[in-house]
């Protein structure tokens, strides 16, 4: 329960007071207090003012007095605040013991929001025609972090990656290979996904402006891609799987993993669309247009001022949304699964089995659907996702069964863009894969790692190359992941290499360095940290602030899971690091001349170390022992 225990105690006692007052039930809050408001505070007085016809201040005084008469375990006393809040001071001797003891348990920080229900998180879903760029990384890290948080909240999470292997961008690189003679082997030292994106894709799309006949060629290739037996479809499968393999290497390097890869080409050929189209007609969710600009088409009516959305053209061909609707229904388990499954040909790190869909005979049957689906897609796709969300809510009769988790784009600061070779005229760099104006994720990782190696060698010349490399990898991955999730999802990120590597401020290296500082303290002592200590000796403000912050871990997990907000955990990690550094600066731990106090403080340091490791793990960030 940790700090939740004192919140529950206060809430239960306040409900008893309400009952004694014969007051109508009110939805008051009990929260960890802001500075100057004790340890816990409640707004109950404000909500009772109208009902009791008294001022919040007078009600706070009355409630505080009544509270003092009730049995208390974790609350030392209650106090009215002049503003009208009721404040509660903790019995820290008991709360210290509760929080620091529980922090050593394996389940510390876990909450049971999910009740072991199954939820699908789909993320990444990058066209397999190029390398992942820094903009894609935000999607990938958001999806992976949300998945980790939901597991901590007791959801059974299926993580899917949708492979659009039959769309326009794939057709473009096939045009390049088949009609412009691009070699199928990249230049020495260049990954195949980089080669396809930087060379084949960009240079091919440039030619569309010069040759109008290419549009017809691309259209024919798109048709052939939908026919799995055609030579073009087989060639496309070979190329896209090779690009996908490189993309997955990038994801795995960033500590991201999946349960299943779902291929669009197989969804098209599976027959799912015809089944869902009949359901749409039966439920009157689509209408046939007999006149107007959409004559002969099947449409989904727009809501409010939105235009109607065509899903089947007058020539009988389905639009791109027609691919997404059956796939969404499949993820929710609303359609019979047409797929077989086989193990992906490369072994995924983290000892996590990776499956892929197939229409031919596969291995064991699998189930990757869920009672709820979260799809991580950037905010530019909001309208399409709203249509699918609405349709799935009607199919399942659960409005929030299908959730679009949107986010804004990533730009590069002018300094970072310049470092990576982009011309920006002193402005932030906006990225475009079609124009070749992007920085791939591998390059950003490599540069972060290089800078970290240089800094680590300067600080620790005694370290071996292997040790330095491992630290640099952990810091580079941590930096990239943290920068993608510390902002609100509706804010554009301006990624800056220099600032993100700082050992001060709201950065991953600052938090990782704080963990290394705690590790160093425990390394120096000759004692093994224990919870068999005198908890009453921890009474200084920096000590209690750190205990309290440790105790808030599960509350932050609950908040992050309920609101699908990775930022909540990144902010918690930073707050925890700040609390520890304040303790470190003001409270000596070793060589105190007081064995009992030293043991108590070592217990606190160890609890911090355990908690920050677990919190960082939810962000997919390793907590290094040394930096």
| 14: CATH | 3.30.1360.70
End-to-end CA distance of the chain: 33
Residues 45 and 13 reside in one and the same domain: yes
Q: With contact defined as beta carbons under 8 Å apart, do 12 and 4 qualify?
A: no
Residues 61 and 155 reside in one and the same domain: no
Rg for the chain, CA atoms, rounded: 28
Q: How far is Cα 248 from Cα 258, in angstroms, rounded to an integer?
A: 10
Q: How far is Cα 590 from Cα 601, in angstroms, rounded to an integer?
A: 9
Residue in this structure with the two tokens 């922090």, named with its chain if needed: 103
Tell me, what's the pLDDT at 344?
A: 95
Last residue of a domain, one of 356, 383, 411: 411
Residues 126 and 253 reside in one and the same domain: yes
Tell me, what's the pLDDT at 426?
A: 61
Q: What is the pLDDT of residues 538-592, one digit of tens each?
A: 999 999 999 999 999 999 999 999 999 999 999 999 999 999 999 999 999 998 8
* Residue 590 in domain: no
pLDDT confidence of 362, banded at 50, 70, 90?
low
* Residue 401 in domain: yes
Residues 336 and 368 reside in one and the same domain: yes
Token representation of residue 189: 């030292």
Residue 434 in this model has a pLDDT that exceeds 60: no
Percent with pLDDT over 90 in the chain: 70
Tell me the backbone φ, ψ of residue 17, rounded to 5 degrees: -65, -45
Residues 263 and 275 reside in one and the same domain: no
* Residue 52 in domain: yes
Provide the number of structural domains found in the chain: 3
* Residue 348 in domain: yes
* Residue 585 in domain: no
Last residue of a domain, one of 411, 436, 455: 411
Tell me, what's the pLDDT at 424?
A: 65
pLDDT confidence of 2, banded at 50, 70, 90?
confident
Percent with pLDDT over 70 in the chain: 96
Residue 127 in this model has a pLDDT that exceeds 80: yes
Tell me, what's the pLDDT at 320?
A: 77
Tell me the backbone φ, ψ of residue 618, rounded to 5 degrees: -65, -25
* Residue 480 in domain: no
Tell me, what's the pLDDT at 571?
A: 98
Residues 357 and 212 reside in one and the same domain: yes
Mean pLDDT of the chain: 91
Question: Residue 194: how many CB atoms within 10 A of its CB?
Answer: 19
Q: Which three-class secondary structure state does DSSP give residue 333?
A: coil
Residues 152 and 256 reside in one and the same domain: yes
The mean pLDDT of 37-50, rounded to a whole number, is 94
Residue 304 in this model has a pLDDT that exceeds 90: no
Q: What is the pLDDT of residues 504-542, one digit of tens each?
A: 889 999 999 999 999 999 999 978 899 999 999 999 999
* Residue 533 in domain: no
Q: With contact defined as beta carbons under 8 Å apart, do 391 and 285 qualify?
A: yes
Residues 289 and 247 reside in one and the same domain: no
Residues 143 and 205 reside in one and the same domain: yes
Distances (CA, A) of 399 to 49, 326, 373, 380, 394: 36, 18, 12, 22, 7
Question: Residue 124: how many CB atoms within 10 A of its CB?
Answer: 23
Last residue of a domain, one of 396, 411, 426: 411
Tell me, what's the pLDDT at 479?
A: 95
- Angle, alpha carbons 584-608-582 (nearest 5°): 25
Counting other chains too, the contacts that 465-471 makes at CB distance below 8 Å and 24 or more residues apart are 467/626, 470/624, 471/624, 471/626, 471/627
Residues 198 and 304 reside in one and the same domain: no
Write out the H or E segment, with its range, that includes residue 122: strand 118-122
Residue 453 in this model has a pLDDT that exceeds 90: yes
What are the helix (H) ranges across 69-105? 92-102
Report field, pTM of the whole predicted structure over 0.85: yes
* Residue 16 in domain: yes
Tell me, what's the pLDDT at 425?
A: 63
Residues 233 and 275 reside in one and the same domain: no
Residues 265 and 316 reside in one and the same domain: no
Q: Which three-class secondary structure state does DSSP give residue 80?
A: strand
Read off the CATH number of the domain in which 122 is found: 3.40.50.620
Q: Could you list the residue range(s) of the whole structural domain that residue 243 is in?
A: 118-269+323-411
């Amino acid at each position: 329960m940790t700090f939740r225990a004192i919140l529950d105690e206060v809430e239960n006692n306040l409900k008893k007071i309400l009952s004694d007052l014969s007051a109508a039930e009110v939805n008051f809050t009990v929260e960890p207090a802001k500075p100057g408001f004790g340890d816990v505070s409640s707004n109950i007085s404000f909500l009772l003012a109208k009902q009791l016809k008294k001022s919040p201040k007078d009600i706070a005084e009355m409630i505080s007095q009544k509270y003092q008469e009730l049995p208390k375990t974790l609350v030392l006393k209650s106090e009215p605040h002049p503003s009208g809040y009721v404040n509660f001071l903790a019995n820290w001797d008991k709360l210290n013991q509760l929080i620091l003891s529980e922090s050593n348990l394996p389940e510390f920080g876990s909450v049971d929001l999910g009740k072991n229900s199954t939820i699908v998180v789909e993320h990444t879903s990058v066209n397999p025609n190029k390398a992942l760029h820094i903009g894609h990384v935000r999607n990938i890290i958001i999806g992976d972090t949300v998945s980790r948080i939901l597991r901590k909240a007791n959801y059974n999470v299926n993580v899917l990656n949708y492979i659009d292997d039959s769309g326009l961008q794939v057709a473009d690189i096939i045009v390049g290979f088949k009609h412009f003679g691009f070699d199928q082997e990249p230049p020495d030292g260049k990954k195949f996904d980089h080669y396809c994106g930087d060379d084949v894709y960009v240079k091919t799309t440039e030619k569309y402006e010069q040759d109008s006949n290419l549009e017809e060629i691309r259209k024919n290739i798109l048709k052939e891609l939908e026919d799995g037996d055609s030579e073009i479809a087989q060639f496309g499968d070979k190329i896209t799987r090779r690009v996908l393999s490189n993309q997955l290497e990038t994801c795995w390097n960033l500590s991201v993993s999946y349960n299943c890869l779902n291929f669009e080409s197989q969804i098209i050929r599976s027959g799912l669309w015809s089944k869902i189209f009949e359901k749409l007609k039966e439920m009157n969710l689509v209408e046939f247009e007999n006149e107007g600009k959409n004559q002969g088409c099947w449409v989904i009516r727009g809501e409010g001022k939105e235009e109607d959305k065509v899903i089947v053209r007058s020539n009988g061909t389905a639009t791109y949304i027609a691919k997404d609707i059956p796939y969404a229904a499949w993820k929710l388990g609303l359609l019979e699964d047409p797929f077989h499954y086989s193990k992906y040909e490369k072994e995924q790190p983290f000892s996590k089995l990776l499956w892929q869909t197939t229409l031919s005979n596969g291995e064991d049957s699998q189930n990757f659907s869920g009672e709820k689906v979260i799809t991580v897609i950037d905010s530019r796709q909001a309208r399409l996702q709203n249509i699918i969300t609405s349709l799935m809510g009607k199919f399942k009769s659960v409005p929030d069964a299908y959730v679009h988790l949107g986010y804004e784009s990533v730009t590069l600061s002018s300094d970072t863009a310049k470092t990576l070779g982009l011309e920006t005229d002193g402005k932030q760099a906006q990225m475009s894969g079609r124009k070749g104006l992007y920085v791939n994720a591998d390059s950003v990782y490599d540069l972060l790692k290089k800078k970290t190696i240089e800094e680590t060698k300067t600080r620790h010349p005694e370290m071996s190359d292997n040790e330095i490399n491992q630290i640099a990898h952990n810091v580079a991955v941590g930096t990239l992941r943290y920068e993608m999730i510390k902002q609100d999802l509706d804010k554009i990120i301006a990624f800056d290499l220099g600032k993100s590597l700082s050992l001060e401020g709201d950065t991953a290296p600052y938090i990782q360095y704080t963990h290394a500082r705690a590790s160093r303290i425990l390394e120096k002592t000759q004692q093994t940290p224990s919870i068999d200590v005198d908890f009453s000796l921890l009474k200084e403000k920096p000590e209690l602030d750190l205990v309290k912050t440790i105790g808030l871990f599960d509350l932050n997990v609950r908040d992050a899971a309920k609101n699908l907000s990775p930022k909540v955990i990144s902010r918690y990690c930073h707050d925890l690091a700040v609390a520890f550094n304040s303790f470190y600066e003001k409270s000596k731990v070793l060589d105190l001349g007081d064995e009992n106090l030293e043991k108590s403080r070592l217990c606190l340091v160890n609890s911090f170390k355990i908690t920050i490791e677990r919190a960082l793990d939810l962000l997919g960030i390793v907590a290094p022992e040394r930096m």
